[in-house]
Amino acid sequence: MSHTPPPPEFKRVIAAFPLPGQVLSATPYGNGHINETFVTVVDVGRGTRRFIFQKINHKIFKKVPELMQNITRVTEHLRLRQPRGLALVSAKDGQDYYFVNGGWWRVYDFIEGAHSVETIAKVAQAREAARAFGEFSAMLADLPGGRLHDTIPNFHHTRSRFEALRRAVTADKTKRAVEVKPEIDFAFAREADTDVLLDLLARGEITERVTHNDTKINNLMFDNETGRAVAVLDLDTVMPGLALYDFGDMVRTAACSTFEDDQDPSRMKVVLPYFKALVTGYLESAGEVLNATERAHLAFSGKLIAFETGLRFLTDFLEGDVYFRIKRPRHNLERCRTQFALVKSIEDNLKEMNRLVAEVEKARK
């Protein structure tokens, strides 16, 4: 899927929301792999105001009204504690989304004076990112109204992701398996990792919490002046999950040396000072809720989520690039290779990473 300009029905979408003036422009925006995001500039007389319009990927999110119910509950709960957080604009009919021409649309206020990043630039930024995602989860611990909907069942069920790869290899729909034998072997050699957290969960040694489940670094906005994280974005996958999935995805995207799709996987390594900063920041805001088993698996979680994400990219490559948006023909394979390089680097550094966790914990006492 490519990032295309707004579709013809966009005029009807605009008309469905109570905007404060005429729309001057609408442009594809951001680097998300899933939804179609547009920034829209609106003329408000003595200036302009921006809004984010998003076409929700309903091939991936099958029950959009349930998903939007989750987002509404979460954004309303966070409003007081995160004043610049994500805020939905309701449609004129009072709904939080608008359905037209087979597509589901939502609108957010554009978060001004802040920016998202694709990679971490300094230690303080890694610490702040982890503090913010940890705080996000901690603030949702008392979310009223019962369990959130599962917007994608088994989203971080690594065993299921592994079995999906196995099926894709067997089916070999696109006849690409032959060119990815080393990656398939790499994945199959690590099958045992897929069950580690699931087994701990089944034994009650770790617990389910409300988690974000997509704590990729570009799903966070930092204030342009202070560098403080002001908003957590991309709430489509906020649902019951494991804190370690959130922490692991931060390691994958913030404690690493390059972009997730660097075409040269040899450039991808775990960055230990950033890892330590993530541990420090996460324990600062979520440390009180994590139990000893969770804390003992912080380093492993990074390996697991890099592995799981690599599995997903490889599966998508074998299935013909049907899930993640791609910008070039072998994009998913490149992403997979770079993720697997990170897995390898974490394996090589696991002992030191666990030592860093212990060091941070000791300093907290």
Nearest by Cα to 105 from 141, 156, 52: 52
Would you tell me which residues interact with ligand ADP (CB under 6 A)?
29-35, 37, 52, 86, 108, 110-111, 116, 218-219, 233-234, 236
User: Which of ligand GN1, ligand ADP, Mg ion, none is residue 29 near (CB under 5 to 8 Å by kind)?
Assistant: ligand ADP
* Chain position whose Cβ is nearest to ligand ADP: 32
Q: Which residues of 50-59 are buried (b: 16+ CB within 10 A; e: fewer)?
A: ebbbbbbbee
Would you tell me which residues interact with Mg ion (CB under 5 A)?
32, 219, 234
Q: How far is the CB of 52 from Mg ion (least distance, A)?
A: 11
Instruction: Output the DSSP codes for 209-238.
Output: EEE-S---GGGEEEETTT--EEEE--GGG-
User: Which of ligand ADP, Mg ion, ligand GN1, none is residue 86 near (CB under 5 to 8 Å by kind)?
Assistant: ligand ADP
Beta bridge partners of 240: 210
User: Which of ligand ADP, Mg ion, ligand GN1, none is residue 37 near (CB under 5 to 8 Å by kind)?
Assistant: ligand ADP
Collapsing DSSP states into helix, strand and coil, what is residue 34? coil
Q: How far is the CB of 1 from ligand ADP (least distance, A)?
A: 10
Q: How far is the CB of 357 from ligand GN1 (least distance, A)?
A: 23
C-alpha angle 146/148/150, rounded to 5°? Answer: 145
Nearest by Cα to 307 from 334, 262, 346: 346
Q: Which is nearer to ligand GN1, 236 or 294 (CB)?
A: 236
CA–CA gap between residue 51 and residue 26 (Å, rounded) = 9
Binds ligand GN1 (CB under 6 A): choice among 16, 33, 104, 276: 33
User: Which of ligand ADP, ligand GN1, Mg ion, none is residue 243 near (CB under 5 to 8 Å by kind)?
Assistant: none
User: Which 163-222 positions form the footprint of ligand GN1 (CB under 6 A)?
Assistant: 214, 216, 219
User: Which of ligand ADP, ligand GN1, Mg ion, none is residue 52 near (CB under 5 to 8 Å by kind)?
Assistant: ligand ADP
Collapsing DSSP states into helix, strand and coil, what is residue 69? helix
Q: Which is nearer to ligand GN1, 19 or 239 (CB)?
A: 239
Sheet of 229-232: strands edge to edge?
114-115, 220-223, 229-232
Q: Which is nearer to Mg ion, 241 or 287 (CB)?
A: 241
- Calculate the CA 141 to chain-centre distance: 19
Q: Which is nearer to ligand ADP, 36 or 294 (CB)?
A: 36
Q: Which two tokens stand for residue 332?
A: 């998913």
Q: How far is the CB of 79 from ligand ADP (least distance, A)?
A: 14
- Over the window 293 to 312, marking each residue x when it contacts ligand GN1 by CB under 6 A and - when it does not, the resulting string is ----------------x---
354 to 295, 298, 348, 358: CA distances (angstroms): 10, 8, 12, 6
| Backbone phi, psi, residue 262, to 5° | -55, 130
Q: Which is nearer to ligand ADP, 197 or 229 (CB)?
A: 229
Binding positions for ligand GN1, rule: CB under 6 A:
32-34, 60, 214, 216, 219, 234, 236-237, 260, 309
